[in-house]
C-alpha cells in the first residue's frame, strides 16, 4: 500500500512538472509576442530634418546630413527590439565620429499622444564606412505603450538626435 501511494505521488509530481513546463512553454511563446514592425531599409537624416527646425514626433535630427549603407530590424508587441545598421556615417566625410548609438521607438497611443521609448547606449564602430565605420547592433527589451500604433524606430546619438529612421 505504501509503494502504491508513493507511486501515485510520484506520478502526480511528474505530471505537475510536465504541466508547468507546458504552461511555461506557452508563456514563453507569448512573451516573444507578435512582430509589429519589420524593416529592411532605413533612411538617413537629411535637410530639412537636420537640427531642431523639423523634428519628427518630437525628436530632432542630427546636426548635419548622414548617410547609411543599410539598416534593418524588428519590433515585437512585447517590446523586443533588434536593429542592425551598417555604414551610418556623416555624409560629407563618410566617417562615423560617434562612439555610441541608441534607438528610440516612437508610438502613437489611443489618446493621440506620442510616446518615445529609448534603449541604452550601444557601441558604434568609428571611422570610415569603407573601413567598417558606422556599424552597430542594437538589441533591447523596451516597455511600450499598449497599443503602440504606427511605430517608428530611430537610431540616434547618445543625446537623442536621430541619424537614421525607418522608412524611405
Residues 76 and 158 in one domain: yes
Residues 2 and 73 in one domain: no
* Phi, psi dihedral angles at 12 (to 5 degrees): -60, -40
Question: Tell me: the pLDDT tens digits for 43-56?
Answer: 999 999 999 999 99
For residue 92, the Cα-to-chain-centroid distance in whole angstroms is 27
Residues 85 and 96 in one domain: yes
Which burial class, exposed, middle or buried, applies to 104 when counting CB atoms under 10 A from its CB (0-12, 13-18, 19+)?
Answer: buried
Question: Tell me: the pLDDT tens digits for 107-166?
Answer: 999 998 999 999 999 999 999 999 999 999 999 999 999 999 999 999 999 999 999 999
What confidence tier does 33 reach under pLDDT thresholds 50, 70, 90? confident
- Across 32-60, average pLDDT: 95
pLDDT at 8: 35
Residues 19 and 60 in one domain: no
- Which one-letter DSSP state was computed for residue 56? B
Tell me: pLDDT of 28 over 50.
no
To 10 degrees, the CA torsion angle through 122, 51, 67, 48?
150
The C-alpha atoms of residue 110 and residue 41 are separated, in whole angstroms, by: 27
What confidence tier does 17 reach under pLDDT thresholds 50, 70, 90? very low
pLDDT at 32: 61
70 three-class SS: strand
- Across 62-89, average pLDDT: 98
Please report the sign of the dihedral spanned by the C-alpha atoms of residue 50, residue 165, residue 163, residue 81: positive
Residues 67 and 97 in one domain: yes
Residues 64 and 123 in one domain: yes
Q: Which domain holds residue 110?
A: 34-166
- Across 56-83, average pLDDT: 98
Question: Tell me: the pLDDT tens digits for 87-107?
Answer: 999 999 999 999 999 999 999
Residues 124 and 43 in one domain: yes
pLDDT at 152: 98
Total tally of structural domains belonging to the chain? 2
Higher pLDDT, 27 or 32: 32
58 grid coordinates: 518630437
pLDDT > 90 in the chain, percent: 78
Of 164, 80, 89, 146, nearest in space to 119 by CA: 80
Q: Hey, which bits of the chain come out as E strands?
A: 35-39, 42-44, 66-67, 70-76, 80-86, 89-90, 95-96, 100-108, 114-118, 122-123, 127-128, 136-141, 149-156, 162-166
Residues 3 and 52 in one domain: no
Amino acid at each position: 500500500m505504501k509503494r502504491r501511494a508513493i507511486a501515485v505521488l510520484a506520478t502526480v509530481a511528474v505530471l505537475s512538472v510536465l504541466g508547468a513546463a507546458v504552461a511555461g512553454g506557452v508563456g514563453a511563446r507569448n512573451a516573444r509576442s507578435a512582430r509589429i514592425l519589420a524593416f529592411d531599409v532605413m533612411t538617413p537624416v537629411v535637410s530639412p530634418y537636420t537640427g531642431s527646425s523639423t523634428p519628427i514626433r518630437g525628436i530632432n535630427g542630427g546636426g548635419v546630413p548622414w548617410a547609411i549603407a543599410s539598416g534593418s530590424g524588428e519590433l515585437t508587441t512585447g517590446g523586443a527590439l533588434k536593429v542592425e545598421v551598417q555604414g551610418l556615417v556623416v555624409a560629407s566625410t563618410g566617417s562615423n565620429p560617434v562612439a555610441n548609438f541608441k534607438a528610440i521607438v516612437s508610438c502613437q497611443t489611443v489618446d493621440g499622444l506620442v510616446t518615445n521609448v529609448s534603449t541604452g547606449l550601444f557601441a558604434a564602430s568609428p571611422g570610415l564606412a569603407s573601413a567598417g565605420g558606422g556599424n552597430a547592433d542594437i538589441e533591447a527589451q523596451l516597455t511600450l505603450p499598449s497599443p503602440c500604433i504606427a511605430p517608428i524606430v530611430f537610431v540616434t546619438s547618445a543625446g537623442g538626435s536621430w541619424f537614421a529612421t525607418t522608412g524611405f
